[in-house]
Amino acid sequence: MYIDYLSQDSIGFTKLPDGRYFFRTSSLVALLQCPYKINFIAKQNNSDDFMKSLPLVKGKVIHAAVSYLLEMYKYGLAKEGAAILDKFIDNQLNKEMQKYTKNLPDTDFLENLKLDCKNASLNFARYTVKNYNSIITEKTIIIEKDSFVLKLTPDLITEHGIVDYKTTKKQLTSNFYISYDYALQMAVYSHYLQMDAQLLFYSFADGKLLLKKPGKFNNVEERILRLIDLLENNKLYKNQYACSTCFYKNKCTLEADTTFDMKIE
């Protein structure tokens, strides 16, 4: 039963025993952007290198810390929650270091990482409680279709729609650009949950927040069905227009001449 797959957090996509494809939104968006990423997603999920997995680790810790702060707030324990936030972040990072055991950061790097996680999560949580009354965090929603199952986990559902928390090293100016993959992720949420979806950015560069509405994408489901057709017929291609911002670009250059291994375990 596909519920077994959903409980395995590391699986971003797979083929279910009933023949349907299972996608987590982040993996779906990566594959829609460039189907060739199929070669790297499973390997990345299996990596034990901490520094190479840093964006994933940082994102996970920040999201966990925001959820924790908002849950404490809902129980009227906002001050108590903030008081032990350092401890919470320490615990989360320790868990990640038990998973990613190679290439661990030195003490100075780790302290800066904790500070980044703390500042980002506090800013996200403060903005959220100040601007929204209805706060539902990290709710998992399963969309079932004939040929695929989609797992959606928006960071926040409010009375004004979905809000996803994102961090950036760039400064947040008025013409701040929303990347294609973030906009597509929001379009998937909007399409299947029939709500507006916005992105709340926090900048490590200046400590500011910016709420932005991404552009629209048409034909969300048609794009997914086209991807499934490519997967089924072993017709994956490299979308080289997406290379400049691709998480896997260094690895992909090294492996550019390898043939596709389409087998999905």
CB of 67 to ligand SF4, least distance (A): 30
Assigned token pair, 170? 């760039």
- Token pair of 136, please? 């539902």
Closest distance to ligand SF4 from the beta carbon of 15 (Å): 20
Cα–Cα distance measured from residue 138 to residue 131, given in angstroms and rounded to the nearest whole number: 18
CA dihedral 213, 218, 222, 224 (to 10 degrees): -20
- Distance from the Cα of residue 130 to its chain's centroid: 24
3-state secondary structure of 207: coil
Q: Which of 156, 211, 178, 167 is nearest to 59 (CA)?
A: 167
Nearer to ligand SF4, 228 or 242 (CB): 242
CA angle 19, 21, 26 (to 5 degrees): 170
* CB-nearer residue toward ligand SF4: 165 or 248: 248
Count CA within 13 A, CB hemisphere, residue 140: 11
Q: Using CB under 6 A as the criterion, which residues of the chain lie in contact with ligand SF4 when the complex forms?
A: 34, 36-37, 238-240, 242-243, 246, 248-249, 252
Closer of 126 and 238 to ligand SF4 (Cβ): 238
Residue placing its CB nearer to ligand SF4 in the complex, 12 or 154: 12
Q: At a CB cut-off of 8 Å and minimum separation 6, what does 227 contact?
A: 28, 31, 32, 35
> How do 21-24 and 13-15 pair as beta strands?
antiparallel
> 262: buried, middle or exposed (CB in 10 Å: 19+, 13-18, 0-12)?
middle
CB of 243 to ligand SF4, least distance (A): 3
CB of 222 to ligand SF4, least distance (A): 21
Q: Using CA atoms, how far apart are residues 145 and 191, in angstroms rounded to an integer?
A: 14
Q: Which is nearer to ligand SF4, 148 or 248 (CB)?
A: 248
Report how far residue 184's alpha carbon sits from residue 217's, in angstroms, rounded to the nearest whole number: 7
The nearest distance, CB 179 to ligand SF4, in angstroms, is: 12
User: In angstroms, what is the minimal distance from the CB of 186 to ligand SF4?
Assistant: 20
**Looking at beta carbons only, is 212 or 251 nearer to ligand SF4?**
251
Q: Which is nearer to ligand SF4, 119 or 239 (CB)?
A: 239
Minimum distance between the CB of residue 46 and ligand SF4, rounded to whole angstroms? 17
